[in-house]
Amino acid sequence: MTGAAIVGVSDHVEPSGVIDMPLRALETRVIVEALADAGLTLADVDGLATCTGGALMHSVELAEYLGISPRWTDSTQTGGATYGLYVEHAAAAIASGLAEVVVIVYASTPRAARRRGETGLGTFVTPERAEFEAPFGLMPPIGAYALAADRHRAVYGTTAEQLAQVAVDTRRWAARNPRAHLREEITVEDVLTSGSVAEPLHKLDCCLVTDGAAALVVTSAERARDLRRPPVHVLGAASAHSHTMISQMPDLTITPGATSGPAALRQAGLKTADVDVVELYDSFTVTVVLALEDLGFCAKGEGGPFVASGALAPGGSLPGQTTGGGLAYTHPGAFGAFLLVEATRQVRGECGDRQVEDVDVALAHGVGGVLSATSTVVLGREAAS
């Protein structure tokens, strides 16, 4: 139990995948919308967490642009796991009296930047990788995930068909989401014939590259009672990391989610059987399989058969990635904030055609780097007793 709640959310994407808007304007848009969702304004904000925009002092520079002076700030960067980490940190700050209303925001426009002719090395080309991995032809980041998928196949017999089912079920959710980039339903055969990118991963096993932004507002459960929307309580939150380079991953079949997932559930006082919907980081299909195992929804090595059963699909035993995920909805580079936005909306019952029935508990699980860092957040309709 953390005593914190998410009280406002917003995300902005375009079905085209392109948002031709200055980054600061895009960040401001989702921040203002998330605050309005909560019935708050910028004047209420005394905490800010972000690490986007290429700035040297990310949250400090954004605060200046917004015209606010928060007394608590965070620019920690753990890739797609960052935003669950921010929820964890925000809850701790609120509990400690260091802040009362914290805004968490992410925005990135790689597609629009490409159209403008902007180029860059990207976050995956570090000096360490350039020296120790690039000379051996490892293409980041997909090469790293392909290594994990191939190891899982070698140890547990996981098949390309099983991985493909993740993409198939994700598209079934995307078909229900008018804002998703890819809405056409696909088959396992479509995935297997989409072209090999890095064995055993195919093109349709890989996430999108789109523009997008998301924001959420976290405050105390006490303050949340008087706000515009029903609070979605942060029941548990935990983070972990184990490596930067894939060559240094202790075990290619075990992610830091094996630490963060059980820890978040313990804090919430819940078990996996209590979770009604999951929003898992799906940078690649194998990311989902590993997460399901490490979080405890199935035993290690049983992720392939689990997803092959259609568990994650609409009507499945564990509905997951209900927006269409990073594989079909949007993926601007770090998808973790969008997972939290959708998990919140599912608990509030606001998702229309993609709404899962009777959601009391939702779990959002972010993954950063090359399976390097994870953050797990458990959200609930009711505060923990």
Rounded Cα–Cα distance for residues 21 and 28 (Å): 11
| CA proximity to 183, closest of 12, 365, 13 | 13
Instruction: Give the separation between CA 350 and CA 204, rounded to whole angstroms.
Output: 29
List the structure tokens of 312.
């994650």
Parallel, antiparallel, or unpaired for β 101-108 and 47-49?
parallel
List the beta bridge partners of residue 215. Answer: 10, 105
Q: Cβ-count burial of 361 within 10 angstroms (0-12 exposed, 13-18 middle, 19+ buried)?
A: buried
Contact 103/58 with Cβ under 8 angstroms? no
- From CA 268, how far away is CA 373, in angstroms rounded? 21
Q: How far apart are CA 95 and CA 100, in angstroms?
A: 9
Catalytic residue among 83, 145, 156, 281: 281
Q: What distances in angstroms separate CA 187 from CA 149, 279, 317, one per listed residue?
A: 20, 22, 20
Distance CA 40, CA 224 (A): 11
Point out the catalytic residue in the list 106, 145, 156, 329. 329
- 86 as an active site residue: the answer is no
Spatial distance between the Cα atoms of 135 and 127, rounded to a whole number of angstroms: 12
Q: Is 329 a catalytic residue?
A: yes
- Return d(Cα 367, Cα 375) in angstroms, integer: 7
What residues are annotated to the active site? Answer: 281, 329
